[in-house]
Amino acid sequence: MSKIIESSDNLPHPPPLTPEQRKLITATVPILAEHGVTITTLFYKQMLEANPDLRNVFSHSKQQRGHQAEALARAVYAYAANIEDLTPILPVVERIAHKHTSVHIIPSQYAIVGKHLLEAITQVVGADVFKGDLYDAWGAAYWNLAHIFIDRERELYEAAQWVGWRDFVVAKKVKESDEITSFYLKPKDGKPLAPYRPGQYISVQKFVPELGFYQSRQYSLSDAPNAEYFRISVKREPGIRTITPSGALDTTQAAHPGWISNLLHATVEEGEAIEVAFPFGEFFLDDSSAPVVLLSAGVGLTPLLAMLNTLVKPDGPAREVSWVQAVRNERVHAFKEHVAKIKAAHPDRVRSTIFYSHPGEGARLGRDYDVEGRLELEKVPREVLRLDAKDAQYYVCGPEAFMADMIAGLKARRVDGSRIHAEVFGAGATPA
């Protein structure tokens, strides 16, 4: 278990951008709008070819599907477009910094990224254009932003119990529904775990022989903080199989975004070793005494379940809480009995409304669910939504369209945006 944090002293430290340099950066915004994805796609290709060890860091599936190139293009564009005032992008910077620390990004890797990013811009824009003062401005701009990340990531590393990867063991594997399975992960060294914030996530890492490198994925912690174990509850994504009929590992669909989740479900058993990063993430339960409303869809319930379990602990904060959940049907309704027991044990402060979009023949209205159809706020009882509590805090997690719908609906009901918190997977902005 390491606590070594790499120094950034040997990296370039340019001064703040001059007004002239900021104007040059702003002038390239139209170019980034048109060619941004072309630049970042070339960047990743050349960087990974020259530095194959970085394949252990970047998601193979997101590379194959172009998601990382698209996300980086959006980030570079946003940086250039807001170069005069970075305030609008600081929440995204914070989100990315947490993602970086969860996969152990180190300062020296920023030099590799800077080199290949400037080379890619030069190749796409043209060496006859991207030169001289313009090139120097972007070089300075890159390192100014890099040090914002490096400094914030150092703070996160310093606050963590360990840096990098720690050996854990799968102590227990529990099927929660037809799609979701929980993995209870305990430190191999038996030492107690430091507390985390309910709503945060961990990265887990496994070596994939079929790919020839490590792959990591981030999963929200689905239980209240404790000193013994981490629990992640992983959805098995449809569309592929990791085990062929002959029993061999199916690598033909290795680029599928759910490949690692399928691998966990199909091949990782109790007693197996797995590497785990310390919990990070800027989406977590606040420390106030205000009522809490938890709105989830699908596997988005996982970080909210950690919050719910924390709120009802005997030594936890005695806050009023509502659980509003969208589920497809009873076969995929994970933690149904668990939430029902919590509600029964705390009838004075825990309320819930469950939606089934496509209830099966065995589902019963009033027993398994409360409303048939998609989750619509107008169908949630006012007392469950706690709209009369002017300090209520709302936590939303699920597919992006669901979160956007919930946020818009809450704002339409005069809930201030400062009281609405959404978990965003990836580097995008919070759905508005």
The residues assigned a catalytic role are 110, 153
Backbone angles phi, psi at 222, to 5 degrees: -110, 15
* Three-class secondary structure assignment of the chain: CCCCCCCCCCCCCCCCCCHHHHHHHHHCHHHHHHHHHHHHHHHHHHHHHHCHHHHHCCCHHHHHHCHHHHHHHHHHHHHHHCCCCCHHHHHHHHHHHHHHHHCCCCHHHHHHHHHHHHHHHHHHHCCCCCCHHHHHHHHHHHHHHHHHHHHHHHHHHHHCCCCCCEEEEEEEEEECCCCEEEEEEEECCCCCCCCCCCCCEEEEEEEECCCCEEEEEEEEECCCCCCCCEEEEEECCCCCCCECCCCCECCCCCCCCCHHHHHHHHHCCCCCEEEECCCECCCCCCCCCCCEEEEEEHHHHHHHHHHHHHHCCCCCCCCCEEEEEEECCHHHCCCHHHHHHHHHHCCCCEEEEEEECCCCCCCCECCCECEECCCCHHHCCHHHHCCCCCCCEEEEECCHHHHHHHHHHHHHCCCCHHHEEECCCCCCCCCC
Alpha-carbon span 338 to 340, nearest angstrom: 5
| Half-sphere exposure of residue 370: CA atoms within 13 angstroms, side-chain side | 16
Q: Which of 25, 299, 307 is nearest to 144 (CA)?
A: 25
CB-CB neighbours of 247 under 10 Å: 6
Alpha-carbon span 56 to 51, nearest angstrom: 10
> Any bridge partners for residue 175, and if so which?
181
> Any bridge partners for residue 294, and if so which?
323, 395
Reading the block at residue 132, the tokens are: 């001289």
